[in-house]
Amino acid sequence: MRVLAVWWTCAVTALVTAPRAGLAISLYDAHSIRADVGGDVKVFLLGVVPYKHALLPSDPSARALLDLRLKLNVTVGQWLKVVVHPDSITSAGPATGLLGMSAAARLADPPEAVSLSRVFVNVPGFNTRLRTDRAHVTLHLPHLDVTAGRQPITFGSTFFFTPMDVVAPFSPLIVDREYKPGVDALRADVYMGTSTTLTVVAAYTGAWSVEGTVVAARAGTTLGTVDVGVFGGVVRGDSVVGADVSGGVAGLGVRGEATLTVPRRVEDTFLRAALGLDKRFANGLSLSGEVYLQSFGALDPQHYLDVAQSPRVARGEVWALGRLYSAMSLGFEVLPVLTVGMSTIVNVLDASALLGPTLTWSIADEVVLVAGGFASAGARPDDRPGMDPARPLVLRSEFGSSPNSMFVQLKAYF
């Protein structure tokens, strides 16, 4: 607890005294050192209104989270950069079954090759932990960047459904996507000409073994106004190949990616593919849509639980339990400081959906309030305790299994 008190004291001090423009120290004309200190504080209030079911509480529940992140970036001339982000998360309140509280904030951390985390308190209803979410060094060489350490890794270009993002993908139910969780990895970015790049990544995802690591590469180039790329790698022992595209075509933003996974063990090869279109209008209206197909999921909702118990779902590699989906996001800038939006995710084959209204208000230059929620539509789960005592829960739709939830987030930057 003493260490935690010191952490919060330092954080509050940084909030008050940290210079926004950073600190620059010039040693030589070509070898200047610059240190930038900043961070943010985020407060989440999360609520769930359950429907009547044996596996859900009978009353609404609430949970609060406090996320405090400090950011230190040090650059040495044009050739070296060091990034460190300690991140403290404190949560209070009950956990909720099915798709409840996890919809609004990241509550689980990726595996660590080097332990840089500590849990200070972990009791029912209360948890405080400190994790170094970024800790990496980037060496800038001619036509080559090499980054070693804890860093965010992202492949692909789609938003709701991300087949190519195989290391630590976001679920589309996560509201706050500002910081992708860092993973321990070695990354090389090779720049070949003005528009052609090669990215090679070796990432730790749970163990020093073939099944506990990801080794992947993507080569990309620009053709006119469109970026195209090819992908390949060994992902936790599976062979994965894919391709992606993004850019502007006839006034529309186009995003698409697809992967084919050949499992190492005795499983069927499966395809995942997503295609999205974006359009922004002059009146402040923006519209995005995606369709997604995967052969990994189940056709019958009664088999969703079997899919949910797959290691791929447990580690976040795949989150969807069905086969065919659509998603849409609508945003409108009511005022320069106020934006309203609505998102929908639909399981086409079982006719279930999640509706996500949001409101974003820029209260001040460095303070933002976000409010929203998720409303579920679709057939609710069925209890059949007398027919199969070993498996009393029978799902009748995917998103209909989720209770309604709501959230309020206040974030401030310094």
**Integer Cα distance of 253 and 276 in angstroms:** 8
Chain CA centroid to CA 338, Å: 24
**Integer Cα distance of 117 and 122 in angstroms:** 13
3-class DSSP state for residue 47?
strand
**What token pair was written down for 204?**
């730790």
For residue 48, what are the CA distances in angstroms to 68, 220, 317, 346? 24, 43, 25, 20
Which of 142, 31, 21, 140 shows the shortest CA–CA distance to 76? 31
Mean pLDDT value of segment 168-174: 81
Contacts of 3 (CB under 8 A, 6+ apart): 118, 120
The string of pLDDT tens digits covering residues 237-259 is 999 999 999 999 888 999 999 99
Structural contact between residues 41 and 122, judged by C-beta atoms closer than 8 angstroms: no
What backbone phi and psi angles, to 5 degrees, belong to 291? -120, 150
User: Which pLDDT value is given to residue 25?
Assistant: 44
CA atoms within 13 Å, Cβ hemisphere of 213: 14
User: Which pLDDT value is given to residue 355?
Assistant: 95
**What token pair was written down for 281?**
């209008």
Mean pLDDT value of segment 194-200: 94
For the cut 80, the answer to whether the pLDDT of residue 187 exceeds it is yes
174-205 burial string, b = 16+ CB within 10 Å, else e?
bbbeebbbbbbbbbbbbeeeeeebbbbbbbbb
**Integer Cα distance of 222 and 3 in angstroms:** 50
User: Which pLDDT value is given to residue 112?
Assistant: 95
Structural contact between residues 320 and 307, judged by C-beta atoms closer than 8 angstroms: no
**Integer Cα distance of 90 and 120 in angstroms:** 10
User: Which pLDDT value is given to residue 113?
Assistant: 95
All structural domains of the chain with their residue ranges: 1-134, 152-278, 296-414
Amino acid symbol at 285: L
The string of pLDDT tens digits covering residues 306-331 is 998 888 988 888 989 999 999 999 99
The string of pLDDT tens digits covering residues 75-108 is 998 899 999 999 999 989 876 544 443 434 444 6
User: Which pLDDT value is given to residue 382?
Assistant: 80
Residue matched to tokens 């990432």: 203
Mean pLDDT value of segment 34-48: 93
Choice between 135 and 46, residue whose per-residue pLDDT is larger? 135
Structural contact between residues 297 and 271, judged by C-beta atoms closer than 8 angstroms: no
